[in-house]
Structure 1
Amino acid sequence: MEFDAVLIEPRIREMTEKGFWHGKTVNDYFDACLAACPDKPALTSIVVSTGERRDLTWAELDVLANRAAVGLSRLGVGRNDVVSCQLPNGWRFVATYLGCARLGAVFNPVMPIFRARELTFMLRHGEAKVFVIPKLFRGFDHEAMAEGMRSELPDLKHVLVEGGEGARDLDAALFDPALDAEPEMARITTENRPDANAVCQLIYTSGTTGEPKGVMHTANTMYANLVPYAERLKLGADDVVLMASPMAHQTGFMYGLLMPVQLQARAVLLDSWDKALAARVVAEDGCTFTMASTPFLLDLANAVEEGGTDSSSLRTFLCAGTAIPGPAVERARAVMGTKIVSAWGMTENGAVTLTNLDDPDERSIHSDGYPLAGMETQIRTADGRIAEPHEEGELFVRGCSNFGGYLKRPQWNNVDADGWFDTGDIARADERGYIRICGRSKDIIIRGAENIPVVEVESALFKHPAVASVAIVGYPDDRLGERACAFVVPKPGHSLTFEEMQAVLAANNFSKTYWPERLELREALPATASGKIQKFALRKMLRDEMGLA
């Protein structure tokens, strides 16, 4: 696989000379863990549905990573081959990634909620050679889904299944103790290790184009974010990082997998969210930090209050993905005693802005922080001016953690000649440089920190014989940040029920996360003279009808 990460080479000299690109990969940071603290707890992996728990030291995790590297190598995986992984949070996810890193393979994490529609495109576009999945997760048969996709994936050579049988059995292929006897293990796990400017992660994000975009990252672009991030939050080797956000999402991957290795800190992983269990884990394992979206914060505060558990160890909860309601911050502080830090970022660049630990709580309520070292923000008005303080405009970012580009779609990179990346967000900044995200110029709804690909969902609904016109807009929700509403104009003599709308999306294999939770039938939709639907008018109409400010 050839990767066209065209945004990397032009920045290497500047970012290296300025000290933002450190020239280290996860292999280097992991080797440092082995040298400094091989017997220190590194990872705790908990299966929520069963309570199964596995604790690993750095030395034990190293053994599993080496087995994974040998197993993948025997399957023909080498430098620049793509391994797609749909496992939930757990030790197998981590060890598989570390095995890929030792081979120079490119890791492609994909969300467990994705189904055949999304996955077929991603795996075909990314030319995945191996697909790693659970057999069953949360009641869904991933193995049957993968089998149904095989005919459309010419590059896919192997499907490995946690809980599978025969040649598909993930544990037999990648984690069998017999792999320790491989005489070439030292060569296999070291010979093809990539440098810090090589693409090491391919992760897909939804956009306005109607298809997911493959974001390419290197070790340098990701650790250029993680190092100043950890410094601002004063995180170190004594911290215990709780991660329940999916590791197939950049939040879980960067801050629940990469960062603990960098810090030589312990990570505690939950494979799914259970607020009562999370509260107990905080108390029993002494978790000191976590990062998640607002619904997780609200749930955890409720669980601590309801269960009376001890949350005193949890010093910091970084909340990102949507604005944090003021009452949520006040309640979390009162119930848990935890500092709430707000942040803004994207898959393309990690967390770009954060508030400070010593900022007043109001700063987290009313802003999304200011840029980390090595990153810049710029807000431009519609007429191209640099916005004045408190003036809204389009948000651009530039710097060390910006991605390497979109795979096979460089025309969508949205980076100008001066290196500014167009985020598609609308923001304003105060005199101190703290920004506030005000909305999005691109047509995406963010529900519980997950982007909904509006164009694709609209297209599926438009094909229904009863639908003459459709537009999907977001509306505020205290728990998830936003929910989606479908406005539909039925054809004459037809109608559409909420259940029929759901059936259409189910038949088109959309994840339920993408399904609108409200349906409004209208005789017509507001439009411009050229016929373009005015979504801002629909949003206002909906808010007025719902009595929202």
Structure 2
Amino acid sequence: MQPFATLADIERLERTPLAQAAPHRSPYALIRAAAQRFPGREAFTFLPDAALDTPPVRTTYAVLLGQMHRAANLFRALGVGPDDAVALLAPNTPEAHAVLWGAQLAGRVCPINYLLQPEHIAALLKAANARVLVALGPNSELAVWPVAEQVVRHHEVPLLQLCVGPGDGPQAVPVLQELLATQPDVLTFEPDLNPDRVVALFHTGGTTGAPKLAQHTQGNEAHTAWFAHAYYDVDEHAVEINGFPLFHVAGAFVYGLALLAVGARQVLPTLSGMRNAGFVQRYWRFCEREGVTHLACVPTVLASVMGVPVDANIASVRAAYTGGSPLPSELAQRFEAATGIPVRNILGMTECAGLVSIEPLRGPRTPGSAGLRLPYTEVHAVPWRDAEAKLEERCAAGETGVLVLRGPHVSPGYTDAARNAGLFEQGWIVSGDLGHLDDAGRIHITGRAKDVIIRGSHNIDPGLVEDAFLAHPDVALCAVVAEPDAYAGEVPVAFVTLKPGATLGADALLAAVAPQVYERPAVPKRVVLLEALPMTAIGKVFKPELRLRAIEIKLTECLREWAPGVAARVQALEQGGRQTAVITVAGPPDGALRERLQQGLAAMAVQTELRFE
């Protein structure tokens, strides 16, 4: 397959039947084909720690395929059938990949965020019909094991420990690697590779109610993985840093299976991934040592590594891909100027195996664009009227509507079909993203019809956070919205009105409610107490006004830090359907001050306008 640069390249490929353009319609078939072509090539380079002199653990494609077979055999022996799941609480390691792909051969896999509360994880295990739980064993870097021990108290299920060192876990709990060693490295059963078979359940936050389990078929996952490489312009010689967790579609598919599908290599940076500060400080030196060609990022990772001096030869690095949250154009420009590495943007959803569109490396980076749709898929902007997407209509080029998509990557829906309404409609996904397509077919996101908050690629349901506050006896009303954040892209902030006579302070209220919030990342960054919340004419909280106020509060706070003693005011506005912060600095233009402020503002996922008066 030739690399893509324009929509015409994609349309040219689409003249070939899908079965011919994508002959492997399951993750297993993709990995098996790569292992047959490149058995001795490295699939993974795992860094045990952030020290440059620590030898990495290198896993070849032949070894990966054998471990997948062993895992599939083991799970079948443990009673996992086609409708059963193996739950996975583990970071991105070679052994976890064997579980992820092997479980899909035996039945289904359900990777779960280990930052969730134990009782919440237990509820997901029950909803997934999990027959086995594989969890990272005790270690000094990532405390997953204590969570796993609490989970099985809430929902009894066989527990296996994925060890990171010899003899470091409880002897009473079976060790995954030891059990794998007892299994043959060839499959003992005939796998069902039907592209329509559901093989994975990924949990995702919704705008209302409890988090959902999105079903993935083999065909869904294979479709996104196989076609991604033509946008990334990678082949078997590519080397990528993948610091994303496997419970997120970015780690598993966008930056994971997409590289495995072509026989490329992934560098997995320690158990804590990009949260390992030591690794981030040596990021460029690891790039040089491993001959890295592609960087897997979100905007906050771009901002983090841009703050690290380039103290190595990084001529091998060809591109940085970023998704998960809006990419500020200023941040992309500054990263490219500082490193010489081109930045390209990605749009994805859990409900379509991670990918909607990608900016091709061989095409230009277009500010505000999320790139071109995947082959054999459709993406349109359609009118939004009467609280629904008008699927039979199409917006003109440049005209804003709600984005809808369909194709072989679209999930068959949630495990609870009652939750499909509003998102899965007539074969389409109604994304909830507001945007448009330009004349070149590029997709632009300008806002979200939904209220979901994206914190470092993690979807947070504000309704569940609001429920935790409303359960407090002093709280009358609560609305949770996104506040821009230089590290996480967005963080939740709670606007609260208290009941008459209540005198509780904002910090005390946050301290009281935080333990009741359904997951740690969803705990608000701050609580703002108001006399009244803004309301619509029919009595609903008007969240757009609160989002603007959250921007003003955050940027005012940042300005005091970036430019102490400088008089400035922030006004957040809605302009053309997009939030814009107008920052007015008192005094004549000051080049050095402008540069300092623009550098800080570049990492904020909000459009800004800087004025001197």
TM-score, normalization by structure 2: 0.79
CA contact (8 A) 2:224 2:258 kept: no
In structure 2, what is the equivalent of residue 535 of structure 1?
543
Q: Secondary structure at the match of 1:348?
A: helix
In structure 2, what is the equivalent of residue 142 of structure 1?
144
CA gap 1:234/1:405 in 2 versus in 1, 3 angstroms: same
- Aligned residue type for 2:196: N
Distance in 2, matches of 1:62 and 1:116, equals 32
Q: Secondary structure at the match of 1:114?
A: coil
Cα distance per residue 1:477-514 (max 9 Å; x no partner): 34432222110101222234444344344422643311
In structure 1, what is the equivalent of residue 158 of structure 2?
157
Choose which of 151, 175, 182 in structure 2 pairs with 1:170: 175
Q: Secondary structure at the match of 2:261?
A: helix
- Aligned residue type for 1:353: S
In structure 2, what is the equivalent of residue 286 of structure 1?
291
In structure 2, what is the equivalent of residue 76 of structure 1?
79
User: Which stretch shifts more, 245-254 or 39-48?
Assistant: 39-48
Distance in 2, matches of 1:542 and 1:267, equals 38
CA RMSD of aligned residues (A): 2.6
- Aligned residue type for 1:301: M
Q: Secondary structure at the match of 2:508?
A: helix
Q: Secondary structure at the match of 1:166?
A: coil
Q: Percent identity?
A: 26
Equivalent residues in 2 for 1:319-468, closer than 5 Å:
319-349=322-352, 350-361=354-365, 363=366, 365-383=367-385, 384=390, 385-412=393-420, 414=422, 418-468=426-476
CA gap 1:410/1:52 in 2 versus in 1, 3 angstroms: farther
Distance in 2, matches of 1:77 and 1:23, equals 24
CA contact (8 A) 1:239 1:266 kept: yes
Cα distance per residue 1:282-315 (max 9 Å; x no partner): 1110111132210111212222xx2512222121
For residue 458 of structure 1, report the CA deviation from its aligned partner: 0.7
For residue 544 of structure 1, report the CA deviation from its aligned partner: 4.3
CA gap 1:32/1:429 in 2 versus in 1, 3 angstroms: closer
- Aligned residue type for 1:231: A
In structure 2, what is the equivalent of residue 37 of structure 1?
38
Distance in 1, matches of 2:162 and 2:362, equals 46
Structure 2 runs not aligned, ≥5 long: 1-13, 557-569, 573-580, 582-613
Distance in 2, matches of 1:360 and 1:68, equals 42
Choose which of 89, 94, 101 in structure 2 pairs with 1:98: 101
Choose which of 516, 525, 530 in structure 2 pairs with 1:508: 516
CA contact (8 A) 1:355 1:368 kept: yes
Distance in 1, matches of 2:482 and 2:140, equals 27
Cα distance per residue 1:226-272 (max 9 Å; x no partner): 22221122211111121001121000000343122210111111232
TM-score, normalization by structure 1: 0.88
Equivalent residues in 2 for 1:92-241, closer than 5 Å:
92-103=95-106, 105-136=107-138, 141-153=143-155, 156-162=157-163, 163-175=168-180, 177=181, 179-180=182-183, 186=186, 188=188, 190-241=189-240
Q: Is residue 65 from structure 1 mapped to residue 65 from structure 2 by the alignment?
A: no
Q: Secondary structure at the match of 2:356?
A: strand
Distance in 2, matches of 1:416 and 1:84, equals 25
Distance in 1, matches of 2:499 and 2:258, equals 53
Distance in 2, matches of 1:503 and 1:459, equals 15
CA gap 1:17/1:359 in 2 versus in 1, 3 angstroms: closer
CA contact (8 A) 2:70 2:186 kept: no
CA gap 1:510/1:331 in 2 versus in 1, 3 angstroms: same
Q: Secondary structure at the match of 2:240?
A: strand
Q: Is residue 246 from structure 1 mapped to residue 245 from structure 2 by the alignment?
A: yes
Q: Secondary structure at the match of 2:134?
A: strand
Aligned residue pair count: 524
CA contact (8 A) 2:379 2:406 kept: yes
- Aligned residue type for 2:246: M
CA gap 1:279/1:174 in 2 versus in 1, 3 angstroms: farther
Q: Secondary structure at the match of 2:79?
A: coil
CA contact (8 A) 1:311 1:337 kept: no
Structure 1 runs not aligned, ≥5 long: 1-13
In structure 2, what is the equivalent of residue 263 of structure 1?
262
